[in-house]
């Protein structure tokens, strides 16, 4: 073996040895970095979900089990809360709390919190009302827009009949979080269109007959879908304790089981169940008060 080949062989061996020794170190470093990122995400998520900290824009960075917190809060108790949350994350051994307390931000922080909460409540109410209208066998075809501001719901669009408009208003009024309902739906009966029977000559209307643009036939839906929507409708309703009512469905027949506080609540629960699309009948013999 010549000198060049021998030196190359030795160098290759050393490089291979270094690579072999470096693999555990590299693996440990990568694993630690992943742990740091996971802990940072957990701290930030907890801050976001906490009603006292989610509007503060706090930041957290983690390195080898040490969390560094930055940002500004309106009160000292919020700073202490942020530190306690970080220390509660598994694997965090130390917290460098660099969060500053700015009393001038207290008023703006409180206002921001209030506005944020109102927006969340209104969005939740809008979704609940919209869902109930979509699930109803009598209002699912409505061209309805739902808008909520400070718990006041406004319904706009069209309804097939006065009864459908009235029902839409009742469904909205019985939804949790609704303070009042402004029912601005315009009654517009379904249009009649001409449908040409297959086989008729082009241009000939002798075999055509009018049919409503919106059919009232119930769409076949699964029992599990009906059960889910009835449960959700009851839970969304402000005058029914839906969590106390068990719902089962078989071949479109809904059975309600549980206890309600009054006959009025029982009647409302039955009515809400009957209104859900796909429900053929409601068995309420097991629903007591």
Residues 6+ apart with CB under 8 A from 59: 44, 69, 70, 71
pLDDT at 104: 61
| The pair of three-digit structure tokens given for residue 257, joined into one six-digit string | 């089981």
pLDDT at 37: 87
Q: How far is Cα 176 from Cα 129, in angstroms, rounded to an integer?
A: 9
pLDDT at 34: 85
pTM: 0.52
pLDDT at 110: 54
pLDDT, tens digit, 9 for 90 and up, residues 32-79: 788 888 899 889 888 877 777 776 778 899 999 999 999 888 888 889
Mark the ranges of the chain whose per-residue pLDDT is less than 70: 1-28, 55, 103-117, 141, 190-220, 242
pLDDT at 3: 45
pLDDT at 103: 66
pLDDT at 116: 63
How far is CA 231 from its chain centroid? 16
pLDDT at 109: 58
pLDDT at 46: 86
Q: How far is Cα 45 from Cα 59, in angstroms, rounded to an integer?
A: 11
């Amino acid at each position: 073996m010549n000198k060049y080949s021998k030196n190359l062989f030795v160098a290759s061996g050393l490089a291979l040895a270094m690579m072999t020794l470096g693999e555990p170190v590299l693996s440990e470093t990568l694993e630690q970095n992943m742990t740091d990122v996971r802990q940072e995400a957990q701290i930030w998520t907890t801050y976001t979900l906490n009603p006292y900290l989610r509007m503060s824009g706090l930041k957290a960075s983690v390195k080898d089990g040490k969390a560094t917190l930055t940002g500004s809060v309106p009160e000292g108790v919020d700073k202490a809360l942020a530190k306690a949350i970080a220390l509660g994350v598994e694997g965090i051994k130390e917290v460098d709390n660099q969060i500053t307390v700015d009393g001038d931000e207290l008023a703006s922080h409180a206002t921001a919190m209030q506005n944020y909460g109102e927006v969340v409540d209104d969005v939740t109410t809008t979704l609940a009302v919209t869902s109930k209208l979509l699930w109803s066998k009598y209002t699912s075809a409505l061209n309805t827009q739902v808008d909520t501001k400070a718990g006041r719901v406004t319904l706009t669009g069209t309804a097939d009949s006065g009864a459908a408009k009235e029902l839409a208003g009742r469904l909205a009024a019985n939804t949790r979080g609704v303070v009042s309902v402004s029912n601005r739906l315009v009654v517009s009966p379904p249009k009649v269109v001409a449908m040409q029977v297959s086989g008729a000559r082009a241009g000939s209307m002798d075999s055509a007959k009018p049919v409503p643009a919106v059919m009232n036939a119930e769409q076949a839906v699964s029992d599990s879908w009906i059960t889910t929507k009835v449960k959700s409708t009851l839970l969304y309703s402000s005058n029914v304790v839906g969590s106390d009512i068990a719902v089962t469905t078989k071949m479109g027949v809904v059975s309600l089981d549980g206890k309600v506080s009054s006959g009025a609540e029982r009647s409302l629960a039955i009515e809400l169940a009957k209104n859900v699309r796909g429900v053929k009948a409601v068995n309420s013999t097991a629903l007591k008060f």
